[in-house]
Structure formats: structure tokens, C-alpha cells
């Protein structure tokens, strides 16, 4: 028995079966049952509840699925009608604006096509003038504009948070440091532009082991609220904090921001020398001169006030006169003042040292040390003041060595100036100081990281260009035509350099990443153009006519490819979200390079093709 489609999908409990067919089926079932043996009858009777339950379950599931199937059909039909209605409404609303956009684009396309055609005719007939102009523009960008851009490691990032690092004189306890910070915290709490502050006393940030640490240091983390003009508010707030802290004597401070890819401050000057006293003097003079350079703030040195100490300066001639050994006298003084462990005694499971030295009353002042006898076994006692000068002096807070040289480190931040320009100003300033011959200085910090990173990225850029050339050479089966296509890279460089100079963006890691991306995508338009010229020439069309036809035929796809890439990068240029300063240089680099290479490719590449390719 066959059923139609509606009978198959219609729920079984709603289907109508004729009574005659139902009775006929019952009679046939009865006859079949009577033909069975008694054992099989009993077996079927016992299993009948199971079959009954399974039949009920099957009928229920089939009914549910049939009902869901019909409901989904209705839902899909309603959704289709709703979407169709929305589409018709939007079409009627946007028909006029879209028609206007298409009309404007068509006018723009025809105008650009006409301009490109005229420029191409002029360039083919005056190719020498075109190439000289491109060479002059490229040379101007390389020799004049590029040095003016400056360099930096990464763009300055505004994340709505910055740190105020404070250093008090060495020896200041945590309690005193915390007490002195109360006034600064009260000032910060009066600022409405601050969302919250957090203070850590007794520690400083870990930065290549070059930052001062101890109980006399503190860090205040300042967080700003989420606002649209947060960058401007942050700069104003930092300026007001700097003005306020000028009135707090007896401490050093600097403002720092979270930095990506680097754990060093922007400016680090290492001054090397052996004589500690001269090293301190030169470092202080250098710190004062660097602080006067415009655009450099928060100048800080690791040369601080040291701990007071008593220095014993032995007179070797007098010791020789009294027949005293310098080492023996020094060990005697150390033993009397510091003490020596004579023996140990056990107290349960511990061993306690027995220290022998002078009583506190006999070593509490310089006068007591002067009366110290340095020849206990001699016939005539000789005091320490007779063979040595005892003076109260200030020892160095620390002796820091870099590459086995005693070093003083000066750190600073920059604002409104690129890293390379700041380092050049510092270099000329330190060169004018006329340091002694045994003293030298090194510019480290982000400057060293910048040089390493930019050198690596330059190598990566040339490697990317080489790989692109190899791929094109294998596809074109020629070494000359890929070389023609590679001329799009310097054409893109012209647009990149001029745009960066217009927006005052220095060269940094993100700009070089954008150039590496450009090396792979600017050649696409030239590949499309040169390939179509080759196709037309293979059909028997002469070279000039093939160039003109290919430029006209491939103008629309070239513009579409460029427009889609540029429009896709526009959200990055707008600068939405946190740390947008990192994305903007790369987006501007790609957009400017791709745009300039697209326009120049349509004129320059066909001209070069006509010169190097034979008829």
C-alpha cells in the first residue's frame, strides 16, 4: 500500500482508517494466531505487554516529531516573510542614497580613468621626465624627510594608569616614608580626575636590577576613570603633579607608565669611572644638565646620599717608624670593634657564639677609637690616633658595576619628543662636559633596545621583499618582470614617509611592521596589471595598445582591492579602545603606502614595462 506525502507527514493519531480495513486486519491476525502451537501462543501472550508499551512509545514519539516538524515549517515561513519584508523596507529607504553613492562613484571612476589615461600617454612619451621626477621624490624622502621623522621603540601608550615613583634619602624607615607620603596622597585625593590610587611603601619596580629599592622608596599607582578625552586629562594631571611635587624637598621622584615590550625607562645614561668621588660629582653635573633639556622630565640618578661611616686612614710612614704591620693593626681594630667568635657553647639543641670585643662604652665614639691601643704587647702603648687619622665621612650608598666598571645611572622620561632626538640632545650635552679620560658614558635604556629591534625589522623587511621576488619569479618564469613589479615598494615608501611626516609619527616597531605587510600586498596591483598586459600581447596586440587597454580594464579591480583594504583598516586609524596608539602607526603606514602605490603603479609600472620589454 502506497501513501502520498501528506499522509506520510500527517500525525498517525489524526489519520482516519476505514472500518472495513480495520476488521479485515483483525480477522487475519486472529487466523494467524490460531495456526500457532500452544507454546508459541503462550509466549506471544506473555510478550504482548512489552509490544504494547513499545507501540505506545513509538506512536507518541512519531506524533511529537510530526508536530515539531509542522511547527518548524510555520516558524521558517514566518521568518522568511519577516526578512523579506525588512529587505523590501530597507530597499525602499536606501534606494535613493545608494543610487546617489553609485552615481558619485561612477563619476569618480570615469574621471580617474580619464586622468590615468592622459597621464599614461604623457608618461609613455616623456618617460625620462617621469623617472627623474620619481627619483627626485624618492631621494627627497630618503635624505630629507626620513631623518626628520626621528625614531622611537614603541609609541607612548595611554592606558589610563601611571606610576609615581618616590625615593627618600637612604636610611628613611618605612614608617617615616609612609608618613611623608600622607601629604602627597591628600593632594592626589583632591583631584577630581583620579578614580583611585594605591600606594606601596618599601619597594620599587623591578627593571633589569637598575632601579633603587629599599625602605626609603615608594610607588603610587594612579588610575583615571574611563572617559573620551582621557589622554588629554592624563597629560594635564601629570603636569599638575609635577608642579606640586616641586615644593617637596628632600626626595626624588619620577612619573612612569606601563611599557610594552620593554622593561627599561626611555632614557638611561650610564657613566663609567673608577674614582667614586669624581663619579658622583660628574653624575650630579650630568643630571643637572640633562634636566635642562626641553622635553626631558623626571631626571633621576642612583647616586644618592650614602650612610654615615667612620673611616680610618692609616699613615704608613708612622707605622713603619713604630714597626707596626698594617694588616695586624687593621685586624686588631676590627676585632676590638666588631669582635671575634672565641668559642661556642651548647644550649639544648642550639650552639651560641661567644663574641669578644670592647664594651659599648669603649667603642661608642670617635674619641674612644682614638685612644685604642694598637700594640698591646709593646713596652710603650701606642694609640690609634698616633698612626692613623679617624674621620667621620659619608660612604657610597651603593657601588654598582656594569661590565666590571663602576657605574652611575641617570634615568629620565620624555614627552613631546621622540627617543632618537632626546638621545642626540643628551649625547651632545654630555660631550660638552669634558669628562676626564678615564671616564666615559653610554646611552642605554630603550635606546639600545630600539637599535636592536629596528635593525632586526629592517632585515625582516629585506627578507620579505626577497621572498616576494622569488615567488613572482617562479610564477612569471622571468627575472625581469618581477623586478618591474618590485618598483611598487619604493613607490609605497614615498607615500609612507610623507604621511608619517605630516602626522608627526616617528619610525618605530609598528611602522616597520606595517612596511613588512606592505611589501607583500602592494605588489598585487602590479601583478594584475603586468599579467593582463602579457595576456593582451600574447593575443597579438602591440605593446603600447596592450598597456593602454590593460590600464583601463584593470583600473576597477585595482581600485576595489585597494578600497576594501583601506576601508578595513579605517577602524584602526580612528583609535578606538585602550592602547590604540600601538595600532594607529601600523594602520596609517599600510593605508598611505597602499594608496600612493596604487596611483603611481597605474602610471609608473606601465612606463617601466614599456622601456624594458621588447616589442
Placement of cell 510530526 in the chain: 66
pLDDT at 207: 43
Q: What's the pLDDT band for 511 if we cut at 50, 70, 90?
A: very high
Q: What's the pLDDT band for 10 if we cut at 50, 70, 90?
A: very low
Cα–Cα distances in angstroms (integers) from residue 202 to residues 172, 181, 223, 256, 593, in the given order: 10, 12, 21, 18, 50
Residues 6+ apart with CB under 8 A from 129: none
- Over residues 301-333, the pLDDT tens digits come to 877 666 677 888 888 888 888 888 888 888 888
What is the arithmetic mean of pLDDT over 456-470? 92
> Secondary structure of the chain: what % helix, strand, coil (to 5)?
60, 15, 25
Q: What's the pLDDT band for 16 if we cut at 50, 70, 90?
A: very low
Give yes or no for residue 546 having a pLDDT over 50. Answer: yes
- Over residues 32-50, the pLDDT tens digits come to 767 767 777 677 677 677 7
Are β-strands 440-444 and 296-301 bridged in parallel, bridged antiparallel, or unpaired? unpaired
- Over residues 445-457, the pLDDT tens digits come to 888 888 888 889 9
- DSSP result, 179-239: HHHHHHHHHHHT-TT--EEEEEES----STT-S--STTEEEEEEE----TTHHHHHHHHHH
Q: What's the pLDDT band for 459 if we cut at 50, 70, 90?
A: very high
Name the range with the highest mean pLDDT among 191-200, 297-306, 381-390, 425-434.
425-434
What is the arithmetic mean of pLDDT over 355-362? 79
Helix (H, G, I), strand (E, B) or coil at 132: helix
Range with lowest mean pLDDT among 4-18, 401-415, 500-514? 4-18
Angle between helices 583-612 and 509-521 (to 10 degrees): 40
Angle between helices 543-553 and 523-538 (to 10 degrees): 130
User: Higher model confidence: residue 30 or residue 389?
Assistant: 389
pLDDT at 515: 93
pLDDT at 25: 60
Q: What's the pLDDT band for 209 if we cut at 50, 70, 90?
A: very low
pLDDT at 502: 92
Give yes or no for residue 248 having a pLDDT over 50. Answer: yes
Q: What's the pLDDT band for 17 if we cut at 50, 70, 90?
A: very low
Handedness of CA 187, 189, 193, 194 (dihedral sign): positive
- Over residues 565-593, the pLDDT tens digits come to 999 998 888 877 666 778 899 999 999 99
pLDDT at 11: 44
Helix (H, G, I), strand (E, B) or coil at 153: coil
pLDDT at 18: 53
pLDDT at 495: 92
Give the integer Cα–Cα distance in Å for 488 and 522.
6
Q: What's the pLDDT band for 29 if we cut at 50, 70, 90?
A: low
Give yes or no for residue 550 having a pLDDT over 60. Answer: yes
pLDDT at 498: 93
What is the arithmetic mean of pLDDT over 211-237? 77
Give yes or no for residue 348 having a pLDDT over 60. Answer: yes
What is the arithmetic mean of pLDDT over 539-558? 89
* CA-based nearest residue to 110, from 102, 121, 100, 98: 102
Buried b (16+ CB within 10 A) or exposed e, 379-405: eeebebbbbbebeeeeebbeebeeeee
Cα–Cα distances in angstroms (integers) from residue 449 to residues 151, 378, 445, 456, 462, in the given order: 12, 63, 7, 11, 20
Give the integer Cα–Cα distance in Å for 464 and 487.
14
* CA-based nearest residue to 199, from 180, 225, 212: 180
Name the range with the highest mean pLDDT among 2-11, 379-388, 394-403, 468-477.
468-477
pLDDT at 12: 46
Helix (H, G, I), strand (E, B) or coil at 610: helix
pLDDT at 390: 82
pLDDT at 23: 60
Name the range with the highest mean pLDDT among 26-35, 101-110, 379-388, 485-494.
485-494
Give yes or no for residue 471 having a pLDDT over 80. Answer: yes
What is the arithmetic mean of pLDDT over 7-33? 55
Whether the CB-CB separation of 272 and 442 falls below 8 Å is answered with yes
Grid cell, residue 48, equals: 504482548
What is the arithmetic mean of pLDDT over 389-415? 81
Amino acid at each position: 500500500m502506497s501513501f502520498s506525502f501528506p499522509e506520510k507527514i500527517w500525525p498517525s493519531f489524526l489519520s482516519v482508517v476505514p472500518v472495513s480495513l480495520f476488521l479485515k486486519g483483525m480477522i487475519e491476525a486472529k487466523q494467524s494466531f490460531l495456526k500457532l502451537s500452544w507454546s508459541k501462543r503462550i509466549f506471544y501472550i506473555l510478550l504482548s505487554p512489552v509490544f504494547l508499551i513499545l507501540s505506545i512509545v513509538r506512536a507518541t514519539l512519531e506524533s511529537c516529531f510530526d508536530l515539531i516538524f509542522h511547527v518548524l515549517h510555520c516558524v521558517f515561513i514566518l521568518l522568511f516573510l519577516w526578512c523579506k519584508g525588512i529587505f523590501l523596507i530597507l530597499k525602499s529607504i536606501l534606494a535613493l542614497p545608494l543610487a546617489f553613492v553609485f552615481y558619485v562613484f561612477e563619476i569618480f571612476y570615469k574621471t580617474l580613468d580619464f586622468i590615468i589615461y592622459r597621464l599614461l600617454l604623457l608618461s609613455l612619451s616623456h618617460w625620462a621626465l617621469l623617472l627623474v621626477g620619481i627619483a627626485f621624490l624618492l631621494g627627497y624622502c630618503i635624505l630629507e624627510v626620513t631623518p626628520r621623522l626621528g625614531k622611537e621603540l614603541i609609541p607612548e601608550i595611554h592606558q589610563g594608569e601611571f606610576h609615581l615613583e618616590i625615593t627618600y634619602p637612604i636610611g628613611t624607615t618605612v614608617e617615616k616614608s609612609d608618613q611623608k607620603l600622607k601629604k602627597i596622597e591628600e593632594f592626589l585625593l583632591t583631584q577630581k580626575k583620579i578614580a583611585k590610587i594605591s600606594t606601596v611603601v618599601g619597594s620599587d619596580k623591578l627593571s633589569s636590577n637598575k632601579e633603587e629599592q629599599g625602605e626609603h622608596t615608594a610607588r603610587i599607582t594612579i588610575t583615571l576613570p574611563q572617559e573620551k578625552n582621557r589622554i588629554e586629562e592624563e597629560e594635564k594631571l601629570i603636569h599638575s603633579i609635577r608642579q606640586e611635587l616641586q615644593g617637596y624637598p628632600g626626595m626624588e621622584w619620577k612619573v612612569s607608565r606601563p611599557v610594552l615590550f620593554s622593561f627599561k625607562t626611555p632614557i638611561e645614561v650610564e657613566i663609567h669611572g673608577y674614582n667614586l668621588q669624581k663619579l658622583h660629582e660628574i653624575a650630579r653635573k650630568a643630571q643637572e644638565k640633562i634636566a635642562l633639556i626641553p622635553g626631558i622630565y623626571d631626571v633621576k640618578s642612583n647616586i644618592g646620599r650614602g650612610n654615615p661611616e667612620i673611616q680610618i686612614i692609616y699613615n704608613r710612614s708612622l707605622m713603619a717608624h713604630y714597626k707596626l704591620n698594617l694588616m695586624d693593626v687593621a685586624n686588631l681594630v676590627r676585632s676590638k670593634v666588631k669582635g671575634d667568635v672565641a668559642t661556642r657553647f651548647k644550649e639544648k639543641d642550639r650552639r651560641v657564639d661567644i663574641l669578644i670585643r670592647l664594651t659599648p662604652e669603649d667603642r661608642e665614639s670617635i674619641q674612644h677609637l682614638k685612644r685604642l691601643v694598637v700594640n698591646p704587647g709593646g713596652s710603650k702603648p701606642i694609640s690609634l690616633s698616633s698612626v692613623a687619622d679617624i674621620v667621620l665621612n659619608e660612604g657610597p650608598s651603593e657601588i654598582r658595576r656594569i661590565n666590571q666598571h663602576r657605574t652611575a645611572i641617570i634615568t629620565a622620561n620624555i614627552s613631546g619628543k621622540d627617543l632618537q632626538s632626546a638621545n642626540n640632545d643628551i649625547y651632545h650635552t654630555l660631550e660638552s662636559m669634558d669628562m676626564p679620560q678615564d671616564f666615559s658614558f653610554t646611552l642605554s635604556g630603550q635606546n639600545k633596545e630600539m637599535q636592536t629591534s629596528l635593525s632586526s625589522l629592517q632585515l625582516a623587511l629585506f627578507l620579505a621583499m626577497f621572498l616576494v621576488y622569488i615567488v613572482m619569479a617562479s610564477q612569471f618564469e622571468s627575472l625581469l618582470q618581477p623586478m618591474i613589479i618590485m618598483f611598487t615598494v619604493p613607490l609605497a615608501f614615498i607615500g609612507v614617509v610623507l604621511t608619517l611626516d605630516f602626522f608627526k609619527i616617528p619610525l618605530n616597531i609598528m611602522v616597520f611592521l606595517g612596511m613588512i605587510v606592505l611589501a607583500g600586498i602592494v605588489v598585487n596591483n602590479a601583478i594584475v596589471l603586468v599579467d593582463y598586459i602579457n595576456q593582451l600581447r600574447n593575443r597579438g596586440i602591440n605593446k603600447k595598445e596592450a598597456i593602454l587597454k590593460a590600464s583601463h580594464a584593470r583600473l576597477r579591480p585595482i581600485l576595489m582591492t585597494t578600497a576594501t583594504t583601506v576601508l578595513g583598516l579605517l577602524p584602526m586609524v580612528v583609535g578606538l579602545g585602550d592602547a590604540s596608539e600601538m595600532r594607529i602607526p601600523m594602520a596609517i603606514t599600510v593605508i598611505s603606502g597602499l594608496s600612493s602605490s596604487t596611483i603611481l603603479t597605474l602610471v609608473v609600472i606601465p612606463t617601466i614595462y614599456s622601456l624594458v620589454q621588447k616589442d
